[in-house]
Amino acid sequence: MLSNVPLHPLELAPMMDGDLELLVGEIYPGDVRRGYVPAYRFRMMSIPHQTQMGEIELRLGNTDHICLYAGHIGYNVYPSFRGHHYAARSVRLLLPLARRHGLSPLWITCNPDNYASRRTCELAGFTFVEIVDLPLDTDMYQEGERQKCRYRLDLSGPAVV
């Protein structure tokens, strides 16, 4: 279920935190046949160096696959930029946009052995809920993954700071 807020980069407020800025890289309309929801993909940029440090995606749907296995947010910080909390800071920058799209609760998932990603979820204010087994028919299972940690953040209350 989505809000009526359009997917349009010109209507996005600047998203910056110190030396970090999120810039729209791509906007996906979704593909119902494949079970893909609309999504924004942002580039994590170093403001002073104009260098891309990673990417983060906000997925705009509440399918079982999103809520249980894929999450509303996915991120990747390039290895040479890890250790500076860019992923957690980027997640927090996306919260107002997620709220505009009516996403609540918001879910992030990660592999149980990915301790850096688990810490990112906690730093961004998410609460660990559970570890779930991946269904055999998911792409993630076919790629060798077996479980996902699920983290939740309720956006229906006061804004998270």
Residue 159 lies in a domain: no
pLDDT digit string (tens) for 108-122? 999 999 999 999 999
**Kind plus residue range of the DSSP H or E element containing 122:** helix 115-123
For 52-100, the pLDDT digits (tens) are 999 999 999 999 999 999 999 999 999 999 999 999 999 999 999 999 9
Top-confidence residue, 156 or 93: 93
pLDDT digits (tens, 9 = 90+) for 2-30: 444 556 655 788 899 999 999 999 998 88
Query: Buried b / exposed e across 123-136, counting CB within 10 Å, b at 16+?
Result: ebbbeeeeeeebee
Domain containing 38 equals 9-153
Task: Decide if 128 is inside a domain.
Answer: yes
Question: CATH number for the domain including 31?
Answer: 3.40.630.30
Question: What pLDDT was estimated at residue 3?
Answer: 43
Average pLDDT score over the chain: 91
Sort residue 102 into left (φ over 0), alpha (ψ -120 to 50) or beta. Answer: left
pLDDT over 60 at 130, yes or no: yes
| pLDDT exceeds 70 at position 151 | yes
2 part of a folded domain: no
Per-residue confidence band for 39, with pLDDT thresholds at 50, 70 and 90? very high
Per-residue pLDDT, 32: 77
Distance CA 21, CA 43 (A): 8
Residue-level pLDDT at 105: 97
Percent of the chain whose pLDDT exceeds 90: 81
Residue 4 lies in a domain: no
How many structural domains comprise the chain?
1
Task: Report pLDDT for 10.
Answer: 53
What's the confidence (pLDDT) of residue 4?
Answer: 46
Residue type, 9: P
pLDDT for residue 20? 98
